[in-house]
Amino acid sequence: MENQCFVYPTADFGYTTPYTRFKSVWFIVAPVARSERSDLGFTFDPDGQAINVPDANNVFQPIPFSKLSSLAMDAISCFTNTIQTFLPSRGPNPKLYEKFASHHLTDDLNQQQAVFQQPENKSWLDGLVEQAVQGSKVLLLKNEQKRALLCREKDILQALATAFLLTCGIPPRPSQVKTLRYDWDEKTGSPRNLFIVFGLVALGNPEAKQLGQTTRECLWALPLSLGTPVMFYLGVIRPVLIRVLSCLKGEISQYSMSIFVHPFPVKNSLLWDGAMVNSALQKHMPTLPIKFTGTLLRSATTAMLRRHFPSLTNADLSPDSLLDLQSQHRRRTGDTHYGRDFDIPRSLAMTIDRARGYIAVSQAIQKLYGLGEPNESSRLILSSSHLLASGRHEDIALMEARFQVSSVYLHLAGDGQQLSVQALVGNVLRTAPYIAADDVSALPCISLFTHSSLF
């Protein structure tokens, strides 16, 4: 009798459908289902340098972090090289990529429009796009050649998808990748997902999977080696391809704002689907003993970050702050009701402090793969990790060394003899009795750095 509701569910509209029956079952079992643990899990090698992933036969296959790092670097290199040689060269090579990399893009996070459309960037970007069009003469190609050129963009996007998912932190679901836009949708008002935050190129706020939500707050920071080529591709190469597609009378509205998009419909859609994202991963990760999907990569990355950066999992479990204690309430109350920070950039749709936290997660996986060092704010968040133990007190050590050296040599030189002090310290740096003889090649660099630190 207690299961009769599943066989004869309530007919809300006078009739039932298989969908409403499944939904009624889900609403009843959801609380229990969410508390159930997944059967998928991972182990790590004793030295912590490899993650063991179960295959279809539940046999654990070791995957060294060095291998994942190599695959990420290969994907970034493939993407960077492809965008630089993508357009045909039929004139003097303007070295567009070098020109682009020498400029500094800015992003007004209160602006809805894309980074490339903001006045500070648009004027010089338009010049590069025109140079690319004139240098490649793509508009003079035959229609068949134009179509072939546009279809080859798939290679760029496959390398980009792989590089992004491997290096961004905990990656988005494969089905969310298609929702990422570099410009906002003027018709629907959907915001852009590409930003520059603290000098880092970042993607964020994808469409939500959860019911009742349109977007999900999130931010993924790209490594520096990927950020510049991504902006070159979307700011220079994509506008050229938009002009090519216009010559073929193609639909450019979606192509002008979405990142992972086809120039021509595939399976009756211009946007990528999850299967295409998984296919891109497997194309660029062929040497692994397991076929990775976006979902498996999400789970494995989460396990790696839990293992090596434990502070990321207990950030919300920290004790009440002094502000909360003095206000006589708990942290949750303080964060929800008191002193809320409304200085939220319009397009970013999150506080700057929250953005720093998301960037720390991205930079944690990039540190694990050897793709870069966390910035100062990220190091504070990730400070409990053994991977950052060697640099935990380097700022304090430098201040103490500066004080000790300056105080000792100031005392030896006497008051009012700064020039003599610099000469004395310089002599010690040149002789460097504290450095082994086989390391003398490093002396000029060490001397210059120490001089700048002391004086």
Residue range 110-115: mean pLDDT, rounded: 93
How confident is the prediction for the chain on average, in pLDDT?
82
pLDDT in tens, 1-58: 555 555 555 555 556 677 777 777 888 887 777 777 666 789 999 888 999 999 888 8
Q: Which range among 268-282, 344-358, 421-435 shows the weakest confidence by mean pLDDT?
A: 421-435
Q: Which range among 190-204, 259-273, 426-440 shows the weakest confidence by mean pLDDT?
A: 426-440
Q: Which range among 213-227, 297-311, 366-380, 412-426 shows the weakest confidence by mean pLDDT?
A: 412-426
Can you list the positions of beta strands (E) in 47-158? 50-54, 60-64
pLDDT at residue 56 in the model: 84
AA identity, residue 146: K
Is the pLDDT assigned to residue 421 strictly greater than 50? yes
Is the pLDDT assigned to residue 317 strictly greater than 60? no
pLDDT band at 243 (very low <50, low <70, confident <90, very high): very high
Q: Which of 29, 16, 51, 43 is nearest to 289 (CA)?
A: 51
CB contact set of 144 (below 8 Å; sequence gap of 6+) = none
Residues above pLDDT 70, as percent of the chain: 73
Query: What span, in angstroms and rounded, lies between the C-alpha atoms of 260 and 291?
Result: 22
pLDDT band at 82 (very low <50, low <70, confident <90, very high): very high
Collapse the DSSP code of 90 into the 3-class scheme (helix H, G, I; strand E, B; otherwise coil) and give the result.
coil
Q: Which range among 276-290, 302-316, 357-371 shows the weakest confidence by mean pLDDT?
A: 302-316
pLDDT band at 114 (very low <50, low <70, confident <90, very high): very high
Residue range 352-376: mean pLDDT, rounded: 90
CB contact set of 258 (below 8 Å; sequence gap of 6+) = 178, 180, 181, 182, 270, 271
Q: Which helix (H) or strand (E) holds 269?
A: strand 269-271
pLDDT band at 440 (very low <50, low <70, confident <90, very high): very low
pLDDT at residue 349 in the model: 84
DSSP 323-364: HHHHHTS-HHHHHHHSS------TTT-S-HHHHHHHHHHHHH
Domain spans in the chain, listed from the N-terminal domain onward:
4-35, 44-298, 396-454
Per-residue tokens: 258:
């979405």
Q: Which helix (H) or strand (E) holds 286?
A: none
37-46, 87-96, 408-417, range with greatest mean pLDDT: 37-46
Is the pLDDT assigned to residue 443 strictly greater than 50? no
Q: Which of 208, 158, 204, 156 is nearest to 182 (CA)?
A: 204
Residue range 309-319: mean pLDDT, rounded: 67
pLDDT band at 334 (very low <50, low <70, confident <90, very high): low
DSSP 194-258: EEEETTEEEEE-PBPSSTT-SB---EEEPPHHHHHHHHHIIIIIHHHHHHHHHHTT---TTTTTB
